[in-house]
A and B are shown apart, each in its own frame.
Chain A
Amino acid sequence: MREFFKFFDKFTFLTLLALVFTGIALIYSATYTSEQSNFTKQLLWLFVAVVAFFVVFKIKTEILFNFSFLFYVILVVILVMQIGAGRIISGTKSWIKMGFFYIQVSEFIKIPLALFLAKTLTKFSIIDWRSFIKLMIILGIPFVLIALQPDMGTAFMLTSFMIFAIILKKIRPVIVIFTLVVVIIGALGTWNYVLKPYQQDRIISFLNPEKYRQSTGYQIIQSKIAVGSGGLAGKGYLNGTQSQYKFLPTRHTDFIVSVLGEEFGFLGISFLFLLFFILFYRQFNVKPETDEEFYYVYLFNGLILFQFLVDFLMSIGFFPVMGVPLPFVSYGGSSLLAFFIGEAIIFKIKLNNFLNEF
């Protein structure tokens, strides 16, 4: 126990808590004028997440990697079942009811997926055709299932795993070229035959929000106005006109950055940047004892980085509106719980790393 306290990365854990509490404060502001009790729910979820964190933390990483395929299969099966019988909330079938809470399965599949991909990546030294196809199948099944819900944002986040896999592993150049061609053709095909017009609008409108002022461009314009009008120090807590007068859409989830930018200004944004920088710096620079741990650390951190980047860029109109929460900050129990569980594994890897060095 003493060793635990000594080697447990308390500083990073406090950073995580700081992110969550910043988020809760922003959720409180974002839903201040509507009578929702989102921030108390988020506090409750934090409690659940911390408990889960330490439960997972107690488990040996080998066991997690060994069971990752089983978890992966179970969650894929649930996703398949959801396509048929999911409850539609906010236009998607991504939720299942667990007691009083709604659970978003697509958030949880990220963990066994990262574990299983990491395990798979250790098995080959270079990505050749065989291993490439194998990776694509592992990633492709949940991607397609989540995209069918339809939750393009969450599905899109999974592509970060592929990007990091390619960065981390040597790959045959021909596969890269082939992938690019397939992605381009696939994107065009998806655009024309799969995406619904409102989804197409969402993607284009970020390039020219003024043209889509009345529809999808509205969110981008209002978010930019919120962030831009925040200035250096912001309009003050609970004083953001864009959020308090409800010009900002989905402000307690996807656009929480805009609430921060409006009410706390550039200083508030910089503060959150600092917290995230600490998180990334400390969690990326880990010396794991196995390859699979190493890959897991990069894949999971990469996912957080990717989602963080999309959310911030989206708020100033640098990226299409994705509908993904900002990790640890946005409202959403499933997201919070999943990221805490994912982080618990990295903490455990770091602890092992310290213990082994002694």
Chain B
Amino acid sequence: MYIEKRKLSQHEIERISIVINIFLIALFIFLLFAFWNVQILKNQYYTDLATSNIRKEIEIKAPRGLILDRKRRRLSENKINFNLFLTREYSRNMNRTVKTAAKITGMGPDEIKKAIDKYKGYPKAYAIPIRKDLPLGKVIYIESRSDELPEFEINIEPARAYPYKEMASHILGYISELTAEELVEKKGYKLGDLIGKSGIEKIYESSLRGTGGVRTVVKDNLGKVREVLDEENPTIGGSVILTIDLELQEYIEELFKEHNGTVGVVDLKTGGMLAMVSKPNFNPEFFSGPLERDKWLALINDPAKPLHNKFLQGLYLPGSVFKIVMALTALEEKAVDTSTVSTCFGRVKVYNRYFHCWKRSGHGNMNIYDALKESCNVYFYRLGKKLDIDVIAKYAQMLGLGRKTQMDLPNEKKGLFPTKEWKLRELKQKWFPGETVSVAIGGGMMNVTPAQVLTMISTVALRGRVPRLHILDQIEKDGEVVERYKPEFRDAPIRKESFEIVIEGLHRVVNDGGTGRAAKIDGLDICGKTGTQLILSLENPNYKQLVKQKRFMPHSWFASFAPRDNPEIAMVVFVENGGDAGAIAAPIAKKIYRKVFQ
């Protein structure tokens, strides 16, 4: 019956059936080959791609080494910053995300929007830094809601902390993100890495910097970490131990609360600095966080130059402190001896010009001891007439002036000590003998750093051994000493007798009612020299009025050492616009000696 219903013949149906069966067999063979090709032949290729999809190696930044004082107190250490990042791609609703971010960070919604807008051109998957150093409570809030807030991510970053804030900032320096130029120069750094920019942080960067670790994780398509496969721990950088004594440093900084200037205290046995203060100073932590333009500009435009390390970078006239060099030169060159007497009438005419002594009434008869004790200008003016500038320059440089101390801190200034040849070369002018007269009392075309003055006074204390100032004691890694500073001294070829004569003069300065008598401590034979470096010339008609203004007050020097025999400590105190050295610098020095020898 069914045959009647069908117009298609049995033959036709069978033909179609055969065709479809052949087609099916061919199709399935083709499919098997196609999948064989992808799954078996290209398996390795796709397996690698699948692995790289989910595997991610995340760098774990190494904690930086510590900076310790000589008694291993922490001057610089590490903390952990929790930084908040936002990824636009994962945000379901940007308005809500901005609101949430504002709530979490306590920043205004406009501020958040501004932060996001900075990355307008970046791919949406880019993690935008929103805030550094998020409080722990907020971190927990975000981490516990990572499913609701997939757009937020907390990134843990070791950060630098300076427990004493401003203290010793010029020694420690600071770290901050490396610049584009540094990125090219330095090997092994990535954009956004922190690098030592000044001070110990810069000089010993390679020791302080640890070795980063790697965490291998499994992440999903949103980049969320699902599993940690492997963790290679970072190693902390080496500890840098300084010769600095924290207590002394703190004490001196406290003394300088009201002053600008610098102090250096050196241990004469090693050349290691016990304290190095430069005021005003800055808080190094300021640079570790996000730099705010206004604050940054305020810092670099401050006329008191808080970023400037006055001890190594400040160039000043040494004033009467230079008379030590003049005395040594004259003794060595046999221009004077202990019996030479010179009479001071308050002024002296040299090369047809009057040069004044600071004491208008004059000092009367002076030998070399008294000339140092009273800091008599006239005595030294006469030496300036007798001695050649090039000879003075030879001794000055021998004693460390106008040359780098090679101290282990960055950006040291060389300063300048003039010679005839220098003047001809640089200024295309002949040296006038009258200039030597100015140089004789520490004036003229000379520029020295307080560090150089400290080297000079140390050399006198050590009777001709010039110490190399340094601040590093040793570097330790994993409890083992990897580098230790070996004290270095060079010799200044000056006779012992000359030193003894000058030292007798310096002893009288403090202990025999000289200009530095305010530094006297019974039982501690302090030897020193004051220097009151005028900003205004005494010849200025308005001297008396102007000098009352702070900025026209003279700089106040006191270079000294103690005890006289077997000296242990040398010190330079420099107070910017401090006034009379005997009244300002010398009493500060006294307090410091008391602190050291208590």
Contact = CB atoms under 8 A, between A and B. Distances in A.
B6 A294 contact: yes
A122 B36 contact: no
A269 interface: yes
25 contacts: A227-B35, A228-B38, A228-B39, A229-B43, A229-B46, A229-B47, A229-B49, A230-B43, A231-B39, A231-B43, A231-B47, A232-B39, A241-B50, A241-B53, A242-B53, A245-B53, A245-B226, A247-B53, A269-B35, A273-B32, A280-B24, A281-B24, A312-B35, A316-B34, A316-B38
Nearest to A245: B220
B2 interface: yes
Contact of B40 (A224, A231, A298, A309): A231
Contact of B46 (A225, A273, A294): A225
Given A225-B53, A241-B50, A246-B222, A291 B35 contact: no
B7 interface: yes
Interface in B346-387: none
Interface residues of B, number: 38
Nearest to A269: B35
Interface string B31-73: 1101110111011011101110110000000000000000000
Given A241-B54, A294-B13, A316 B222 contact: no
Given A266-B39, A294-B6, A228 B47 contact: yes
B21 A284 contact: yes
B265 to A, nearest CB: 62
B219 interface: yes
Contacts of B295: none
Given A246-B220, A247-B53, A227 B38 contact: yes
A90 interface: no
The secondary structure that dominates the B interface is helix
B28 A247 contact: no
A-B complex: 4 closest residue pairs judged by Cβ atoms = A228-B46, A289-B2, A229-B50, A245-B220
A186 B315 CA distance: 86
Nearest to B226: A245
Given A246-B220, A313-B34, 5 more contacts: A231-B47, A241-B50, A266-B39, A285-B21, A290-B2
B20 interface: yes
A273 B47 CA distance: 23
Contacts of B36: 266
The A interface, classified by DSSP as helix, strand, loop or mixed, is helix
A287 interface: yes
Nearest to B20: A284
B8 interface: yes
A228 B43 contact: yes
B16 interface: yes
Contacts of B34: 313, 316, 318
Interface string A241-263: 11001110000000000000100
Nearest to B8: A291
Contact of B221 (A224, A232, A246): A246
B146 to A, nearest CB: 15
B21 A270 contact: no
Contacts of A284: 17, 20-21, 24
Given A227-B46, A229-B46, A291 B5 contact: yes
B27 interface: yes
Given A242-B53, A316-B34, A281 B21 contact: yes
A226 interface: yes
Interface string B112-153: 000000000000000000000000000000000000000000
Interface string A274-314: 00010011001101111100100010000000000100110
B39 A230 contact: yes
Interface of A: 122, 125, 168, 222, 224-232, 241-242, 245-247, 261, 265-266, 269-270, 273, 277, 280-281, 284-285, 287-291, 294, 298, 309, 312-313, 316, 318, 356
B218 interface: yes
Given A241-B54, A284-B24, A289 B6 contact: yes
A225 B50 CA distance: 6
A242 B40 CA distance: 17
Contacts of A270: 32, 35
Given A226-B50, A291-B5, A316 B35 contact: yes
Contacts of A242: 50, 53
Given A245-B220, A273-B31, A273-B32, A227 B2 contact: no
A309 B17 CA distance: 19
A1 to B, nearest CB: 24
Given A229-B43, A284-B20, A284-B24, A294 B49 contact: no
A249 to B, nearest CB: 9
Nearest to B219: A245
A298 B24 CA distance: 13
A143 B50 CA distance: 38
Contacts of A294: 6, 8, 13
Nearest to A248: B221
B39 A277 contact: no
Contacts of B16: 168, 298
A245 B60 CA distance: 24
Interface string B188-229: 000000000000000000000000000000111110001000
A231 B48 CA distance: 12
Nearest to A295: B8
Contacts of B222: 246
A70 to B, nearest CB: 22
A99 to B, nearest CB: 29
Contacts of B219: 245
Q: Which of A232, A241, A270, A273 has the most chain B CB atoms inside 10 A of its CB?
A: A241
